[in-house]
Structure formats: C-alpha cells, structure tokens
Chain A
Amino acid sequence: MEQMTEKQAPILELRHVCKTFRTDDGREVRAVRDASLSVYPGECVALVGESGCGKSTIARMITRLINPTSGEIILCGRDTSKMEGRALLDLYRDIQMVFQDPYSVFSPRMSVGTFLGEGLVHHGIMTRAQATEEAKNLLQLVELPPELMDRMPHQLSGGQLQRIVVARAVSIRPKVLLLDEATSALDVSVQKLVLELLSRLRKELNLTYVFIGHDLAVVRTIADRIAVMYAGMIMEELRSEDLAEAQHPYTRRLLQSVFSVHDRTNRKIIQVEDMSVAANASGAEGCPFHSRCPQAARECENTCPPLRELGPDHRAACLALSYAVPNDPVPPVT
C-alpha cells in the first residue's frame, strides 16, 4: 500500500517550515527548525517527541492557529499560510483536529446532540434540524448509544467525550484529521478502545491522520510512518514497522527509555544522565541533541545535521550516521 501512495501527490506537505517565538526579554526560541514532511492520502503519520520538541507547534501551524515564520504548508494543493477569511473557513472543511483534553472542547451547557451538529451547521452543510438528526448517526459511528443525545458534558466520562469530539470532527467529512495527544489523557483501557475506533474510522471514511503523541508504543500501533522530533527538528523519519531498527541516537535513547511490562526477565540498564550540567542553547547552530548524545563528535556542536536518506522511507539527521554504512546498526544506547 505504501508503494501505491508514494506515487500520488502528498495531501499535506511541510516545506522547510520554521517557527521562531520571541520571549519578553527579546530572546529567540526556535520552536521548529526547518521541518519538511510529506503526508500521503490515507496514511497515518505520527509526530513523536518529548515536551518542547515542537510537535504541537507544528500541529498549530498545520491548522493555521499560528503562522509559520518561514516555509510553506501545502494542504490539498493550496498554501495555507496565505489563506484568509472565506478560504480559511474552507480550510477547516478539509482539516479537523482533536486535542488532548475533551472537557476543554465542550461548552459545559451544550447538550451532546447540539455539540455534534455544530460543524455541519457552521459550514452550511445542513440545517439545525437535519444536523440534530445526523447527530444520532454520528453517535452510532463512534459506538455510543443514542440516549447520549440529550446529555450534558459533565454527565459523561472522558472516553465518551473524546469519542464525541472525534464524531464531530469527522461529521463534515474532512480529508485530514489532526490528532494532538488525542488519547494521552485517557486511562489505558479506554485509550486502547479509542485507538481502535480511530483506526476503523480512518479506513471507513478514507481519512488521512496526523497523529501527535509522546508514547512510542501508542504511536507505533496506529501510525504507518513516524517522524521523531527533538528540540524543533525532525531527527528521524521511518516506517512504524521499522521502529526497532531506528538509527538516530535520540530515537534509540527514546526506545531504551520505554518500560515494557513484560521485560522484567531482561531488565535494561538505565545510564545516569547528569541534568545539572547539560544546558541546551536553543539558538546554537549545532545538533540540539549533541550535549546528551553518546556518539557526539566535535563537529556536532556547530554543524546542523541535514535530514539524510538512509533507506526506503527512512531518513535521519545525524552527522555520526553520515559516515556509517547504511546497514551498519548503531550500537544500542545502554
């Protein structure tokens, strides 16, 4: 399937996107540094990384909640950064989003039925009466009983609310769904069910997903491809099924940090990191990971590593890898 989608034009494309914020005292924070990424129709691409890596900043730029400092974001063939007014409203017919906390999305005094119909009415697709009728189908779509129509948000659980948020997001049949930590606030049993729902909806409604998360295991189960971010840069991009063969030292570190329930018999050794000395200068030109990197060389301090092809659907930004034979695995971080 990947082979087929490769031939199509990407439905969403980031071209050299940068975002620089300025703090009150005039410092510049480079939240996103030269990010390029293509998402093909029907795919689920995940952006994964730790807090502050820029993944949510990218999400907010894709959905035009903020503007990029430079670079282009092409959605369905149009550059979104120049859109205004009517065009911007139309943008949201193509892309919808789901955030982490469903409670914050609801108006506390709006019933579920009204909430579900809002998008359809807002975009002029249906009248209020039709939308209310459609809301019942939407509930069914996300495996909830029709009795919930008249409920208020405070009467529902977090898992139910997140399903309803998903239902509203897909109600207007967008092409792309952006999920920003959409299952992170849910308890594990609920999280798994919502992920299964999302997987099913993607196929049934022919959606393309951009899935933003911090949990590698979660991201791997739902996404086709993964882009790993660190300090504003895309460090590595690879297919989900190849995650175990990740090459970038940061991705390896992430993988080593995941505690698996079932690896008690073969417990990994965690190397100590002294956090009191490592200071990352966000303005520095070098690799942002070099101060924590076990393979850092002197040149890593002041040379920004380019994202380089390592194999099919596999890119990494690391100077140390540039000299390695592509098949030569990097020693695991211990």
Chain B
Amino acid sequence: MAEQNATSPNTAARIAVRKTYKLYIGGAFPRSESGRSYEVTAADGSFLANAALASRKDARDAVVAARGAFAKWSAATAYNRGQVLYRVAEVLEGRRAQFVDEVGAAEGLDARAAGLVVDAAIDRWVWYAGWSDKIAQVLGGTNPVAGPYFDFSIPEPSGVVAVVAPQHSSLLGLVSVVAPAVVGGCTVVVLASEERPLPAVTLSEVLATSDVPGGVVNVLTGRTAEVAPWLAAHMDVNALDLAGAAPADVQALEVAAADNLKRVRRPDPVEDWAAEPGLDRLRAFLETKTVWHPVGI
C-alpha cells in the first residue's frame, strides 16, 4: 500500500497522496448524495479508507443510469461488446499491482496469494469477454417445427441487473458476477462487498478508463442490508443476482423482487469463485426470443 512507502528511508520525507473512494454512477464518480461514508479496514483491522455509504437515492440514481445505458449497450454488435470488454481486461492487467495490494489488504492474503486471485480475475474477465459473440451460437438455434416455417431462437439481454456482489471475494467474486451480466448486453448496478469494497471502486476506475460507456456498470459501496432491498423492489430493475446477500435476507429480497417478476439468481450454498463458472450466470440474465417466418413461393 501507498502508506508503506512513507516508512521506507528513501522516501521518508514524502507523504503519499491518498485516494478518495467514491461511487461510480453513469460514468461519473460522485460521493453519496447522503454525504455519508463508512470506515473500511484491512483484514488485520487497520484503517484503509473511508468509502462512500450509498443511500436509497444513490441506488435509484444508479438504476436510472443503467436504464439509460441499456439501449445502446444492448444494441451494440456482439463483436463490439467483445472488443470493449477485452479492453477492460487489458486495463485490468495494467493495474495489476494496485489490485494485488488492495485485494491482499482486503482479504488478508500475502502478495503471492493475492497475485493469483488477481490473475484469476483478469482471466475470468477475458473468459467472459470471449463469450459475447458465441453465446447465441451455443444457446440459440433453429427449431425444426412441423410446418412451412423458419423458426429460430436467440438470446437477448433481460435489461437492468442489480447485483449483490460476493462479500468475501472482493475482486474475483465481483468480476464473476458483473462480467456475465454485461457481456450478454445487460447493464448493471452492483452493490460491492460491504467490508471489502475498495477493489470494486478501483474496478470502476478501470471501467471508466476503458471503452465501456458510462452507465453500463454502476458501482455502489455501503451497507448491503440497507441498499439491497431498494434494488430488489425497484420496478425498473429486471433481474437480481443475490450472490452476496446474507442467507437470512434472501427470502425477503426474493419476495420484493416478485413484484415485477425479476429474474433472480439465488446464491449458491458454497460459491467457489476460483472454479470455471460454466454458463449458469450468463444464462440467468438472458431472455429467449423465438421468431417464426413462413417459407413459400
């Protein structure tokens, strides 16, 4: 971490410039409209930073931004989305050292272990980026209906996805829930790990400096129990990933989500973020559209 530099003899005179950790909404970095923040500590209990404590209003603003970005992002060609998302991986790689520091501090890992986690997160992003122009070829297809019709089914994005990010895996887990939603064309409001939010803020800086349009991914930091219910109940949110929701809260969030029949991805009993994820999360936020057309002279 930057603080460590201050203790080395050569740079003892220099005081590090610290970063303000803010929200990421619509491509901008606002503080919480509530003016609140909360203390984020490392795994060892030492102070790391004050993070913005997002409010109900921040969550609603984020949904507005995600909805605003949906039309263009979902209409982009799969090739274009793939290019843009692969670019994110390139920029992630360039920030590797910073992520290793932040993930190490947040998750209490030494540099080597944190490095492996960051590598896996970058590779996970690349894996999902590559799916953009292949999802339809694997999940879609023609249907041999018994009549003179050409009939085919294609996947289409559900819309705005609210994501409760995993609480423990601050970067690999986060990437593993954000990437599958955006690669399919959805836009996302993600509520970062409550205790370990800093890698998420840095990820938002990566997104802001890649070619991802503002609003495609919006990042909130704060209290999961405070903000998640508003997202779950929001009538302009189409889907909900409960990966990081507390087991005791899942049922209430699902009940809230039922008001507009959000597609809900329940948390797995045991999430192994290091394992290859499969298509489950990709599929979770895709609709199937079937088109019929007559065949004849």
A pairs with B = no
